Structure 1
Amino acid sequence: MQTEILPEFLNTPEGREADAILRACVHCGFCTATCPTYQLLGDELDGPRGRIYQIKLVLEGRTPTRVTQRHLDRCLTCRACETTCPSGVRYARLVDIGRHHVEARVERPWNERWLRRLLVAIVPYPGRLAPLIRLGRLARPLLPAALRAKLPIHQEAGHWPESAGRRRMLALAGCVQSVATPRTNAAAARLLSRLGIDLVEVSEAGCCGAVAYHLDEREAGLAAMRRNIDAWWPEIEAGAEAILVSASGCGAMVKEYGELLAHDPSYAERAARVSALARDPVEVLGAEDLSALGTLGAGLRVAFHSPCSLQHGQQLKQVVEPILERLGFVVTAVPDAHLCCGSAGTYSITQPELSMRLRDNKVAALESDAPEIIATANIGCQLHLAGGARTHVVHWLELLDEAA
């Protein structure tokens, strides 16, 4: 694609990056076939090709409007288009740049501004989020059905095995997962302990930075990344061999620390090292001899929902299902497994109507082959699907832990 990006923008690192991404696009339209919002709305401007064209025009000097902003807001950043693209267009990075450019030029209505500020001020902080969740549980009978469906059921984490001086990995506690489903990381610690690996959470590490960064509070997002790097660095220097990130959405973000902090001379080298150490649990378990776990599934029928951040963001496709089958579970068929469930970070809050339609479609697909349980790999998907499914939804690590 030919571009004529404004010189003042083209002379910046981000401008040159955007130009290179735009020039890689041949406008073939293959991406529209796998775009969830294009399938729902049938509007070219609500598909990747249309959004790329809108971003191109803005970077070339056209004044963006609320309509431009709305079409970019509707993008889930699920990255299914990147999986489909024959030219390797880095769409997610381009849409981050485009949104940032539009955000600086188009004022949002006051209700949208306050909602986004509220999300950035609360969601990344477990100490602020946990009391609200507890209050919500107490008031559950009085809440509207839509809000009631978003409340996670209380769960106990269970015991966390003591470190035994063996191989050592770090675990990201995260923000929402640490208060909504604390059992997930504890389950990972118990499973890895059986494989001879100590899993350790560093208390100073928190939100991965994705919530703020993707709501265009870039500095807050980058600050969260730097805090995590500082928190993990002594353990990395002491020999921790990996950073296990059990929420695939957070994992996709941690794997991009090196890129996002590449121009920070104080953090660039360490950020690249952290990204290189980041692992999804499936990458860790897939590399281990799992015979110590035995045959756990006993024929239990499981529908696995592969989060977009796993299959498209991290490009880890069809990797959990073979492990489940190897451990004795029966993995059921899921039509259109490449499509997003509609969670997409804060999307279910900022775009509730589209999100619910996507969720209902995904739940129907997951339940179509009569599973006894639904498993996934991301906290956002887990909570979102649980609000609309008749079948119990768990993280797949919890599924293994409960069967062990």
Structure 2
Amino acid sequence: MQTTLSEEARSIARADEAESILRACVHCGFCNATCPTYQVLGNELDGPRGRIYLIKQMLEGKPAGTKTQTHLDRCLTCRNCETTCPSGVRYHTLLDIGRAELERRTERPVKERLLRAGLRRVVPNPALFGTLLKAGQALRPLVPRTLREKIPASSSASSPRPPVRHARRMLMLEGCVQPALSPNTNAATARVLDKFGISVTPAPQAGCCGATEYHLNAQDNGLDRARRNIDAWWPAIEAGAEAIVLTASGCGAFVKEYGDLLRGDPIYAKRAQRVSELARDLVEVLSAEPLDALRPGVANESGRSGNAGRIAVHCPCTLQHAQKLGGAVEALMRRLGFDLTDVENGHLCCGSAGTYSITQPQIARTLRDNKLDALEAGSPDTIVTANIGCQTHLNGAGRTPVQHWIELVDATLTHL
């Protein structure tokens, strides 16, 4: 696509990158066929092709205001369009550049500014988030339905983690909301890895991955969190940690981009690249281990796993489109003998998308209901996922229970 950036646009830090991405787009429209918001709203400007044109016009000097902001805000950043695109357009990168520039030019209404500031303050702070979650759980029957859906009645109980006792050691990002919403997820991960002779080395100073702030247009704050995590992990990396395990696919997608996002930082560029190289989603780590040796003990005579019943796997967008690991969880669960249902339209987003379900609740609820209809079509006893945001969002509907897949594996392996 031909484009000529304005002098104002050429002054922004990533102007050349934006222009290169714009020129890669051939305007074919294949992206609209798999875009969740285009499927729901049917508006060209609520699909990737339309949003690319809005960003192009803004960077070429055309007026851009609240209308453009509305359409860019409605994007889930699910990256389904990138999986579909035959030209390899890095849409999410262009969107980040466009959103940041539009945020600089256009002032949001006070209500939106307060909401976004509150999310940036609360979500990346585990202690504050945990305190507010407990208060919300205590007052849950009294709060409005839309907020009540975001507050689980209780958090999953967590059993003790094994001590660090193996020569093989990996780091694990604890995350910001997962320790409060689902504390058993990381504990279950440590127990399962322990069975394969892998110890999880704690790094308490590593907190939120930075994605929440970065995608709410506080990009400098998000990158500062990335730098703090790199500093927290670096001593263990130098000591020989073989990987950084990510149990939330949204965090995994962002940490794997540290190297790209900080490539221009003279102090952190090399270390950020090394961190991204070491980052592994949990399914990548376990898939490389000798799981088949456990299968006879896990599966019963029918070849199905213990008391787990039928399972539907929800593959988060950050796992299948960002990390390109679609089908990996399903393959691992089948290796362990679990009975999986078929799920139609598994490529479509559930509507969670970080804080999207809070900033765009109506679209998020529609996408959630559509996703649950697809997941429940095979009458599963439980649904498993790989991302805490998706888990909480889907559970908010009060339908089939949803948990992280590692908890199911852990519960089964404990009986061996």
Query: Does the TM-score normalized on the shorter chain lie above 0.5?
Result: yes
Match of 1:397 in 2: 406
Q: How far off its partner does 1:11 sit? A: 5.7
Contact 2:166 2:197 in 1 (8 A): no
Work out whether 1:381 is the aligned partner of 2:382: no
Q: How far off its partner does 1:328 sit? A: 1.2
- Give the TM-score normalised by structure 1: 0.98
Q: Matched residues in 2 for 1:154 and 1:84: separation?
A: 37
Q: Matched residues in 1 for 2:262 and 2:330: separation?
A: 34
Work out whether 1:345 is the aligned partner of 2:346: no
Any idea what the Cα deviations from partners look like across 1:76-107, whole Å, max 9, x if unmatched?
00000000000000000000000011111111
Any idea what the Cα deviations from partners look like across 1:310-368, whole Å, max 9, x if unmatched?
00011111111011111111110111100000000000000001000100110111001
Which has the higher mean CA deviation after the structures are superposed, 353-362 or 149-158? 149-158
User: Which amino acid counterpart does residue 130 of structure 2 have in structure 1?
Assistant: A
Match of 1:9 in 2: 9
Runs of 4+ off more than 6 Å:
none
How many residues are aligned here?
Answer: 404
1:172-321 counterparts in 2 under 5 A?
A: 172-294=173-295, 295=298, 297-298=305-306, 300-321=309-330
Match of 2:20 in 1: 20
User: Which amino acid counterpart does residue 364 of structure 1 have in structure 2?
Assistant: D
User: Which amino acid counterpart does residue 27 of structure 1 have in structure 2?
Assistant: H
For the residue of structure 2 that corresponds to 1:202, the secondary structure is coil
Structure 1: 5+ residue stretches without partners: none
For the residue of structure 1 that corresponds to 2:149, the secondary structure is helix
For the residue of structure 2 that corresponds to 1:164, the secondary structure is coil
Match of 1:79 in 2: 79
Contact 2:9 2:61 in 1 (8 A): no
Match of 1:151 in 2: 151
Q: Matched residues in 1 for 2:200 and 2:309: separation?
A: 28
Work out whether 1:329 is the aligned partner of 2:329: no
Q: Matched residues in 1 for 2:210 and 2:331: separation?
A: 31
Q: Matched residues in 1 for 2:50 and 2:100: separation?
A: 17
User: Which amino acid counterpart does residue 141 of structure 2 have in structure 1?
Assistant: P
Contact 1:306 1:377 in 2 (8 A): yes
1:115-130 counterparts in 2 under 5 A?
A: 115-130=115-130
Q: Matched residues in 1 for 2:235 and 2:287: separation?
A: 27
Q: How far off its partner does 1:66 sit? A: 0.4
Contact 1:140 1:148 in 2 (8 A): yes
Structure 2: 5+ residue stretches without partners: 300-304
Contact 1:363 1:389 in 2 (8 A): no
Q: Matched residues in 2 for 1:390 and 1:354: separation?
A: 19
Q: Matched residues in 1 for 2:255 and 2:280: separation?
A: 9
Q: How far off its partner does 1:179 sit? A: 1.4
For the residue of structure 1 that corresponds to 2:169, the secondary structure is strand
Contact 1:124 1:176 in 2 (8 A): yes
For the residue of structure 2 that corresponds to 1:374, the secondary structure is strand
Contact 1:10 1:19 in 2 (8 A): no
Match of 1:50 in 2: 50
Work out whether 1:37 is the aligned partner of 2:37: yes
Match of 1:90 in 2: 90
Contact 2:8 2:61 in 1 (8 A): no
Contact 1:247 1:377 in 2 (8 A): yes
Q: Matched residues in 2 for 1:240 and 1:395: separation?
A: 25
Any idea what the Cα deviations from partners look like across 1:43-101, whole Å, max 9, x if unmatched?
00000000000000000011211000000000000000000000000000000000011
Q: How far off its partner does 1:7 sit? A: 3.6
For the residue of structure 2 that corresponds to 1:390, the secondary structure is coil
- Give the TM-score normalised by structure 2: 0.95
For the residue of structure 1 that corresponds to 2:383, the secondary structure is strand
Q: Matched residues in 2 for 1:403 and 1:387: separation?
A: 26
Q: Matched residues in 1 for 2:293 and 2:197: separation?
A: 10
Contact 1:183 1:398 in 2 (8 A): yes
Contact 1:195 1:290 in 2 (8 A): no
Q: How far off its partner does 1:300 sit? A: 2.2
Q: Percent same amino acid among aligned pairs?
A: 58
For the residue of structure 2 that corresponds to 1:199, the secondary structure is strand
User: Which amino acid counterpart does residue 47 of structure 2 have in structure 1?
Assistant: G
Which has the higher mean CA deviation after the structures are superposed, 391-400 or 230-239? 391-400
Q: Matched residues in 2 for 1:111 and 1:293: separation?
A: 53
Q: Matched residues in 1 for 2:23 and 2:240: separation?
A: 42
* CA RMSD in angstroms, aligned pairs only: 1.1
Contact 1:367 1:391 in 2 (8 A): yes
Match of 1:101 in 2: 101
